[in-house]
């Protein structure tokens, strides 16, 4: 067995200071990047910690008891997060997704949700506020999250077979507890709920049809995600990627499907409806069918690093502006200047990139900036 070699560099420390441009850039809600893509979606990581050790995200041999998580003083406070979010909303953001790590590990998260729920888009509408979770704490927190202003949740669930699920989360957590969390979220009105299944060929791909069967007719949208080459610690191999086309074929053989239109510009999932009206599934194909050309998402790490792509190799440090006395206008201008230079499209270029670009430079970990 070959030994995994991890570069001795902490990608959280690889960042570029966000600079205030010499001339203010007004926030008009129409900010575009270098490829003309608007800024509509902000994903905010509220913690770099998680209570699962999924091999495709936070493998136990790297994220062990000695792993140096960020100290609490390094994390943005809820007030700082809300202040930054307000500037993004002024530039056109309409949706905020809270991520982690596992976001429900952040204490008093309902307070942050309440602050974000008070923000309004440039058109004066409420934001679409959602959260991605592994579901382990959802049963006890769903009602409070809804009361605070959270609208929807997405739950990560990689199989219904308890042995498979325990093996993939690698902390022996039972699948029944996650299913109870999903039921609690439905009862609290956090919907429509989405369930995300990362599919690894040879590991859990036999769970595709059972998952479809379980969630058909439930009002829950099941989405299958191709195993992605995020970060540098998940041991990604192309032969473990099951193309979404194969996923659709397997589900279609069991339950006939018909294609649906995208629900919104920049939607990452290709949608398919059950022909008998029992709901829909989605497939997210960032390996075999890139969707970079419509990507309208920015990612803010838990301590204020702005990332422009899930596969980024460095971030832009906003925290030094936030804590260094920058005005709201200066912070908004700095964000605009960064976005206007954005030309990231890693998934589109993956196949043509030289080895040093495609695999030689260590990318930021998904557990640090959220999926």
- 266 φ, ψ (degrees, to nearest 5): 85, 5
Q: Measuring CA to CA, which residue among 170, 105, 112, 108 is closest to residue 133?
A: 105
Per-position DSSP letters for 198-214, written without gaps between them? EEBTTTTGGGHHHHHHH
pLDDT at 352 over 80: no
Q: Distance of CA 111 to CAs 117, 170, 191, 328, Å? A: 10, 31, 20, 22
**What pLDDT, on the 0 to 100 scale, is given for residue 1?**
37
Residue 233 pLDDT level (bands cut at 50, 70, 90): low
Residue 351 pLDDT level (bands cut at 50, 70, 90): low
Mean pLDDT of 345-354: 68
Q: Under 8 Å CB-to-CB from 195, ≥6 apart: which residues?
A: 154, 155, 156, 157, 182, 211, 215, 220, 221, 222, 223
Confirm if 319 and 70 have CB atoms less than 8 A apart. no
In the chain, the domains with their CATH numbers are 11-369 (3.20.20.70)
**What pLDDT, on the 0 to 100 scale, is given for residue 3?**
42
Which tens digit of pLDDT belongs to each residue from 58-111?
889 889 999 999 999 999 999 999 999 999 999 999 999 999 999 999 999 999
Which tens digit of pLDDT belongs to each residue from 185-222?
999 999 999 999 999 999 999 999 999 999 999 999 99
**What pLDDT, on the 0 to 100 scale, is given for residue 289?**
77
């Amino acid at each position: 067995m070959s030994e995994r070699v991890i570069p001795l560099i902490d990608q959280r420390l690889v960042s570029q200071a966000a600079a205030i441009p010499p001339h203010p850039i007004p926030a008009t809600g129409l900010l575009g990047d270098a490829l003309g893509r608007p800024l509509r979606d902000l994903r905010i990581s509220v913690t770099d910690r998680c209570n699962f050790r999924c091999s495709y995200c936070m493998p136990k041999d790297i994220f062990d008891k000695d792993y140096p998580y960020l100290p609490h003083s390094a994390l943005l406070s809820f007030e700082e997060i809300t202040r930054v979010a307000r500037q993004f909303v002024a530039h056109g953001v309409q949706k905020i997704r809270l991520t982690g790590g596992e976001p429900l590990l952040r204490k008093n998260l309902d307070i942050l949700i309440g602050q974000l729920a008070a923000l309004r888009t440039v058109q004066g509408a409420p934001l679409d506020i959602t959260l991605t979770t592994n579901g382990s704490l959802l049963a006890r927190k769903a009602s409070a999250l809804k009361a605070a202003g959270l609208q929807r949740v997405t739950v990560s669930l990689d199989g219904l077979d308890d042995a498979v699920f325990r093996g993939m989360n690698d902390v022996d957590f039972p699948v029944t507890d996650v299913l109870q969390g999903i039921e609690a979220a439905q009862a609290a009105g956090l919907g429509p709920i989405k369930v995300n299944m990362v599919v690894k060929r040879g590991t859990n791909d036999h769970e595709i049809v059972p998952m479809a069967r379980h969630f058909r007719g439930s009002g829950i949208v099941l989405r299958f995600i191709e195993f992605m080459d995020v970060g540098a610690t998940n041991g990604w191999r192309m032969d473990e990627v099951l193309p979404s086309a194969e996923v659709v074929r397997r589900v279609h053989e069991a339950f006939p499907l018909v294609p649906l239109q995208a629900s919104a510009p920049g939607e990452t999932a290709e949608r398919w409806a059950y022909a008998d009206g029992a709901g829909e599934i989605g497939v997210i194909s960032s390996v075999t069918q890139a969707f970079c050309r419509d990507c309208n998402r920015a990612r803010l790490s838990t301590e204020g690093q702005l990332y422009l792509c899930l596969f980024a190799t460095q971030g832009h440090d906003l925290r030094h502006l936030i804590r260094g006395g920058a005005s709201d206008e200066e912070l908004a201008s700095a964000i605009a200047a960064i976005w206007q230079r954005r030309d990231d499209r890693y998934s589109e270029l993956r196949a043509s990139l030289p080895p040093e670009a495609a695999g030689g430079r260590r990318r930021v970990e998904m557990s640090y900036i959220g999926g």
